[in-house]
Amino acid sequence: MPMQFLPFLIVIALGMPLARLASSEPQRPALPGQGRILFAAARGDNGAFDIFSADLAGERAANLTADPYPDRSPSWSPDANHVVFASRRGDNWDLYVMRADGSDLRRLTNHPAYDGEPSWSPDGRRVAFTSMRDGNPEIYTLDLIGGDARRITTHPAADAQPTWSPDGRRIAFTSWRDGNQEIYIADAESGAVINLTNHPAPDHSPAWSPDGGRIAFISDRDGGGNLHIRDLITGEELRAGPDNLGLRDPAWTPGGGLMAVAPWALGGRRFFSRQGVALFSPGMPGGTFVVASLHGYADPSWSNRAVTPLLPDERWLEGRSFDATAPPVDVASLPRGMVALGDVRAGGIPALAAAVKPSFDALRRDVIEASGYDFLGQLSEASRAVDFQNGTSSFTSWHKAGRAFDTRWDYRVNGQQILYISPEWRAGRLFWRLYLRTSRQDGSMGEPLTAPVFDVQNRRLLPPPAGYFVDFTALAAAHGWNRIAAQERDTFDWRTQILALEYWHFERRDGLSWYQAMRLVHDDQTLERIFTIERVLEAGARPQFFPFLGLPWAQLPPPVAGPISLPMGRRQ
Q: Which residues contact 20 (CB under 8 A, 6 or more apart)?
A: none
Amino acid identity for residue 454 in this structure = F
pLDDT band at 250 (very low <50, low <70, confident <90, very high): very high
Task: With respect to residue 25, please indicate whether it lies within any of the assigned structural domains.
Answer: no
| Torsion, CA 538, CA 544, CA 547, CA 551, rounded to 10 | -10
Same domain, 270 and 417: no
Q: Which residues contact 156 (CB under 8 A, 6 or more apart)?
A: 136
The answer, yes or no, to whether residue 162 has pLDDT greater than 60, is: yes
Task: With respect to residue 410, please indicate whether it lies within any of the assigned structural domains.
Answer: yes
pLDDT value for 543: 80
Residue 158 is part of a domain; what is its CATH number?
2.120.10.30
Same domain, 199 and 135: yes
Task: Give me the DSSP letters along 105-134.
Answer: -EE----SS-EEEEEE-TTSSEEEEEE-TT
Q: Please measure the distance between the N-terminal and C-terminal CA atoms of the chain and give it in whole angstroms.
A: 63
- At residue 258's C-alpha, the angle toward residues 252 and 261, to 5°, is 100
β-partners of residue 53 are 38, 62
Task: With respect to residue 455, please indicate whether it lies within any of the assigned structural domains.
Answer: yes
pLDDT band at 545 (very low <50, low <70, confident <90, very high): confident
The answer, yes or no, to whether residue 222 has pLDDT greater than 60, is: yes
pLDDT value for 323: 52
Same domain, 288 and 395: no
The answer, yes or no, to whether residue 10 has pLDDT greater than 50, is: no
Evaluate whether 262 touches 276 at the Cβ level (below 8 Å): yes
Evaluate whether 280 touches 259 at the Cβ level (below 8 Å): yes
Please state the pTM of the whole predicted model.
Answer: 0.87
Number of compact structural domains in the chain:
2
The answer, yes or no, to whether residue 433 has pLDDT greater than 60, is: yes
Query: For residue 160, which of 129, 189, 134, 188 has the smallest C-alpha distance?
Result: 129
Residue 99, judged by CB atoms within 10 A of its CB (0-12, 13-18, 19+), counts as: middle
Task: With respect to residue 338, please indicate whether it lies within any of the assigned structural domains.
Answer: no
Task: With respect to residue 486, please indicate whether it lies within any of the assigned structural domains.
Answer: yes
Evaluate whether 60 touches 318 at the Cβ level (below 8 Å): yes
Ranking 117-131, 353-367, 390-404, 558-572 by mean pLDDT, the lowest is 558-572
Same domain, 398 and 281: no
Task: With respect to residue 488, please indicate whether it lies within any of the assigned structural domains.
Answer: yes
Same domain, 369 and 441: yes
Residue 189, judged by CB atoms within 10 A of its CB (0-12, 13-18, 19+), counts as: exposed
Provide the residue range defining the domain that includes 52: 36-314
Amino acid identity for residue 104 in this structure = D
pLDDT tens digits for range 11-61? 323 334 444 454 444 444 444 457 999 999 998 777 789 999 999 888 899
Instruction: Name the average pLDDT for the chain.
Output: 87
Task: With respect to residue 11, please indicate whether it lies within any of the assigned structural domains.
Answer: no
The answer, yes or no, to whether residue 444 has pLDDT greater than 90, is: no
Pairwise CA distance, residues 204 & 217, whole Å: 6
Amino acid identity for residue 292 in this structure = A
Evaluate whether 93 touches 116 at the Cβ level (below 8 Å): yes
pLDDT value for 119: 98
Handedness of CA 369, 372, 375, 378 (dihedral sign): positive
Same domain, 373 and 240: no
